Structure 1
Amino acid sequence: MDTTLRDGEQTSGVSFSPSEKLTIAQLLLTEVKVDRIEIASARVSDGEFAAVKSITKWAKANGYLDRVEVLTFVDGDVSVQWMQKAGAKVMNLLTKGSLNHLTHQLKKKPEQHFAEVAAVITLARKKGLEVNIYLEDWSNGMRHSREYVYAFLDFLQTQPLKRIMLPDTLGVLIPSEVQEYISAIVARYPKLHFDFHAHNDYDLGTANVLEGIKAGAHGLHLTINGMGERAGNAPLASAIAVLNDFMPEVKTAVAEKSLYTVSKLVETFSGFRIPANKPVVGENVFTQTAGIHADGDKKNKLYFSDLMPERFGRQRKYALGKTSGKANIENNLQQLGIQLSDADLKKVTQRIIELGDKKEMVTQADLPYVISDILDSNTIADKVKIEDYVLSHAKNLKPSATIRVVIEGDVFEEHAQGDGQYDAFMNALKRIYKKKKQELPGLTDYAVRIPPGGKTDALCETVITWRHQEREFKTRGLDSDQTVSAIKATQKMLNLI
């Protein structure tokens, strides 16, 4: 069960709009193919109600309604009525899984709590709702008040429930405890279905998920990018990769190839950035930096593992920097279709090491320019030069651009308008290339980086990602003006194609 839209949205500073929630819900069920999604907490806000209503409307029309779940509370008929108005059919009832929480938060006796839980379950079932139960703070309950947990489960096995959900609410368990506690519960209640809900406060979420399944848990709660309270939940991508590789007897319906795509979408909607070194979905996790690794890959795939990028719709990359070595550079040149002699390759390697020592970022797209500079050769000279341009921006008027471009000695001049100065520039450029009957690459990402300090004359780096003939590549430009740095990055792209 994916709980990105409920527990994941409890990440500090994250709030999805109703349309964003609907889009993520649709992708999770139709593309990623998780079994269930938990999409909200009842009674939170009008926006949350609108989001749930739009998801349940879509889910009902497409046969997914029984796979859409909402967190609810022991509050008499309030949550039940909310569920009915929202069109939801499966409620995940939050109850107390430790004596400490029951005594100090609710200030109630076990028998009183059990009776109130039973009343909500009875009402929900009468209204046609399916009920699952969360045992909040269950992990501490097993550590400090196991008899209470067993008494509660003894009671719950008499109730018309679908699943009992065991959350490590505070993320305090270590793998051996997960193994011990879940094994004990599954052995004691063999007819009940138990889900395990791991948090990541000690960075043990994925390890605990693996132990939970080994111990006999029947289901898992996970989130995209490990989003959630505090340090977050166990991440879906990591957990699926671990289960597929280390527990092949456990089958899931999750489509590995969709994990990276939905991860990037959730990153965009949430503003919650994925760390570059995050397993499976991070930008760097399939990038080899050390030259010895690239050399080993080239000779006999010595640094490959079962965790192959192609499984997740990704590609292996070889970084360029001071530790790259010749093999990394050769791999990048091969992808660009460039061959160099050993002597020239040695010179290029040395220059990239020097740039790395200066903390310069070198990309694959920079390689032809490094080569051209070092070898003083016309073989990769600038065939395209953006000679002149005038950019205008005025209030209540569309931005415009007039540009003069020299392509292999031929001069072209065009004028165009756009939604911004750079858009106007690109529209003029497209007109020039249309005359040449050549299509420009599509722009898939546009990132601007400005050093901290707030100086208006600071250098601005624009990194643009392009897609051309089924290949993606990046170019970058550096200038104190953001639009000019984008134009410099664009000129690099024109020469690369």
Structure 2
Amino acid sequence: MARKKIEIMDTTLRDGEQTSGVSFSASEKLTIAKLLLEELKVDRIEIASARVSEGEFQAVKNVTNWASQAGYIDQVEVLTFVDKGVSIDWMIEAGAKVQNLLTKGSLNHLTHQLKKTPNQHFKEIEESINLAKEKAIKTNVYLEDWSNGMRNSKDYVFEFLAFLSTQPIKRIMLPDTLGVLTPAESFAFVSEIKSKYPHLHFDFHAHNDYDLGVSNALEALKAGADGLHLTINGMGERAGNAPMASTIAVINDFLPAVEVGVNEKVLYTVSKLVENFSGVMIPANKPIIGANVFTQTAGIHADGDNKKNLYFSDLLPERFGRTRKYALGKASGKANIQKNLQELGLQLNDEDLKKVTQRIIELGDKKQVVTKEDLPYIISDVLDRTYEEKVKVESYVLTHSKGLKPSTTVSITINGKNYEENASGDGQFDAFMNAIRTIFKNINFVLPNLIDYAVRIPPGSHSDALCETIITWKSPDKEFKTRGLDSDQTVSAIKATEKMLNIIIN
């Protein structure tokens, strides 16, 4: 059986730009338009509302100039109004060829906003459509608030559709303007319309106010809808529109009788570009495109993936140009860490792997995020213990108050004996070192001089996760370095110092 080809119209540059605080520049609109049509391969794009501003006019002109040369001009659409041809004149000047005419899809909107009768409204719509036809402009028609129209004034909606069925238009577009439909209603309403007008083309336009945008789009397609309106990252007014990435994945995986031409492989790339241009961040748990959605955190999942991909589904990251990751944290098991080590080309024996796992769990208990790039530093820190641990920093209190010198109280054990000292200094670590020097001076032990102190964040890590402190020490007979690793810079320096103390005692 032949699959039904569904048109995907992207309205990121029109409806998506109505996201609070978002305004794309002319060059950004052109870049996104090119990506949507050339790379993502959506069927159509809606790029602006007519008559908005001079800047919008120039942005539309830039897109239509490119689209005309590249052969996409009939796939570029502009929202217009029933305004005696003012929108059409604007479109012609801007170089656009397809209007999406905004009309009233509910009697409530018609009566209280336009204060007109259905016949008056239909007559003005007919004039707009004929004027567009005279000027070689193709027309699609939006039935604004159609969902409430079907709920509360169905006779009006079908009277409107009967009128539109006689008009020279290409598509009728059914928006759930306020995002109020349930999936059952979406199916029922579209089914009722398609059964009466099987040969007309109907687009379904979902909003996401109840987080039902994807479900409603799915049900509309099952009911026979011929096209969908989607936005990148689900951008749009209020809670936004049905999101492109999730909807396309759902169609491809759960509607075998339906075919869409969207290129899944570039969904993530386009989503990240729109994120950067719009300034609206993608939530980490956003399906398909979120930072965490292809990341396994629990060690048992990584173990299952090692044993016949037990935690894989059809939603494979490679479909969307992404890769599976295995998070490192307090829920990590050895399997998670082994997966990350494999990617880095590293191997550890069971004993060392156990030590590294324990260190990562400790960091996770502090709510620190550990990345794959942190692993070499953690391994170095954990396994860099070729000495017997004779010195242990048991506890310390670091204080820093405005107008007072930082001070430290330190408790350490040397060869099983405990020592405690308090000191102040120019900074917290300086105060710590002064206390340590006093303790070792009292046992007639001279510490090496600190000659260099460097702090760095492992590449790819986060500033709130790990930092590595490397301290260079110089004693009369040698110069050496020690490293400390922790989420806190001062603590990492203290750990590097503890290593130094063990090296000289041993």
Shift of 1:460: 11
Identity of aligned residues (%): 71
Whether 2:83 is the aligned partner of 1:75: answer yes
Match of 1:29?
37
Matches within 5 A, 1:151-170: 151-170=159-178
Partner deviation per Cα, 1:434-488 (whole Å, 9 max, x = no partner): xxxxxxxxxxx999869xxxxxxxx9999xxxxxxxxxxxxx99879xxxxxxxx
Query: Per-residue CA shift, 1:369-410, capped at 9, x if unaligned?
Result: 1111111268xxxxxxxxxxxxxxxxxxxxxxxxxxxxxxxx
TM-score (norm 1): 0.77
Distance 1:288 1:215, change over 3 A: same
- 2:101 is equivalent to residue 85 of structure 1: no
Question: Following the alignment from structure 2 to structure 1, what is the Cα–Cα distance between the partners of residues 461 and 14?
Answer: 30
Q: Which one of the candidate residues 43, 63, 69 is aligned to 1:61?
A: 69
Deviations 1:291-310 (A, max 9, x none): 11111011110000000000
For 2:189, the equivalent position in structure 1 comes to 181
Unaligned 5+ segments in structure 1 are 379-444, 451-458, 463-475, 481-497
1:351-383 CA distance string (max 9 Å, x none):
1111100112211111111111111268xxxxx
Distance 1:356 1:448, change over 3 A: closer
Q: Distance in 1 between matches of 2:322 and 2:48?
A: 31
Q: Residue 307 of structure 2 aligns to a residue in which SS?
A: helix
Structure 2, unpaired ranges of 5+: 1-8, 387-458, 469-485, 491-506
Distance 1:297 1:460, change over 3 A: closer
Assess if the C-alpha contact under 8 Å between 2:265 and 2:320 holds in 1: yes
Cα RMSD (Å) of the superposition? 2.1
Instruction: Tell me which residue corresponds to 1:150.
Output: 158
C-alpha spacing 1:217/1:140, structure 2 compared with 1 (3 Å): same
Change (3 A) 1:162 1:273: same
- Determine helix, strand or coil for the equivalent of 1:350: helix
Q: Using a 3 Å threshold, how does the CA distance of structure 1 residues 460 and 298 change in structure 2: closer, same or farther?
A: closer
- What is the aligned partner in structure 1 of residue 114 from structure 2? 106
Query: Structure 1 residues 342, 446: CA separation in 2 closer, same or farther (over 3 Å shift)?
Result: closer
2:265 is aligned with what amino acid?
Answer: K
> What CA distance in whole angstroms lies between the structure 2 residues aligned with 1:49 and 1:446?
42
The verdict on how the C-alpha distance between 1:477 and 1:79 changes in structure 2, with shifts beyond 3 A counting, is farther
For residue 248 of structure 1, report the CA deviation from its aligned partner. 2.2
Q: TM-score, normalised by structure 2?
A: 0.75
Partner of 1:294: 302
Which of structure 1's runs of 4+ aligned residues deviate more than 6 A? 445-450, 459-462, 476-480
Give the one of 257, 267, 271 matched to 1:263. 271
1:54 alignment partner, SS class: helix
- Give the direction of change, closer, same or farther, for the CA distance of 1:49–1:357 in structure 2 (3 Å limit): same
Whether the 8 Å CA contact 2:187–2:223 is kept in 1: the answer is yes
Pair 1:170–1:246, CA change in 2 (3 A): same
> Equivalents in 2 of 1:44, 1:327: separation in Å?
56
**Which stretch of the first structure deviates more once superposed, 341-350 or 22-31?**
341-350
| Mapped partners of 2:111, 2:164: distance in 1 | 19
Q: 1:340 and 2:348 equivalent?
A: yes
How many residues in Structure 1 have an aligned counterpart in Structure 2? 394
Determine which of 17, 21, 26 is the counterpart of 1:13: 21
Q: Do the aligned residues in 1 keep the contact of 2:209 with 2:239 (CA within 8 Å)?
A: yes
SS of residue in 1 equivalent to 2:259: coil
| 1:118-162 deviation per Cα after TM superposition (whole angstroms, max 9, x unaligned) | 110010110100000000000000000000000000000010000
> Secondary structure at the residue paired with 2:92?
helix
Aligned partner of 2:139 among 128, 131, 139: 131
Does the 8 A contact of 2:10 with 2:46 survive in 1? yes
SS at match of 2:258: coil
Q: Give the aligned residue type for 1:143.
A: R
What is the rounded CA distance, in whole Å, between the counterparts of 2:461 and 2:126 in structure 1?
Answer: 54
Question: Is the 2:368–2:487 Cα contact (8 Å) retained in structure 1?
Answer: no
State how far apart, in whole Å, the 1-side matches of 2:24 and 2:196 are. 40
- Determine whether 1:119 maps to 2:127: yes
Contact 2:369 2:462 in 1 (8 A): no
2:12 maps to which residue?
4
Matched residue, 2:371? 363
Distance 1:235 1:307, change over 3 A: same
**1:342 Cα deviation from its structure 2 partner:** 1.1
Could you tell me how far apart the structure 2 residues matched to 1:446 and 1:148 are?
59
Q: Which residue of 2 aligns with 1:237?
A: 245
Letter in 1 for 2:51: R
Work out the CA distance in 1 between the residues paired with 2:272 and 2:118.
44
Larger radius of gyration: 2
2:323 corresponds in structure 1 to 315
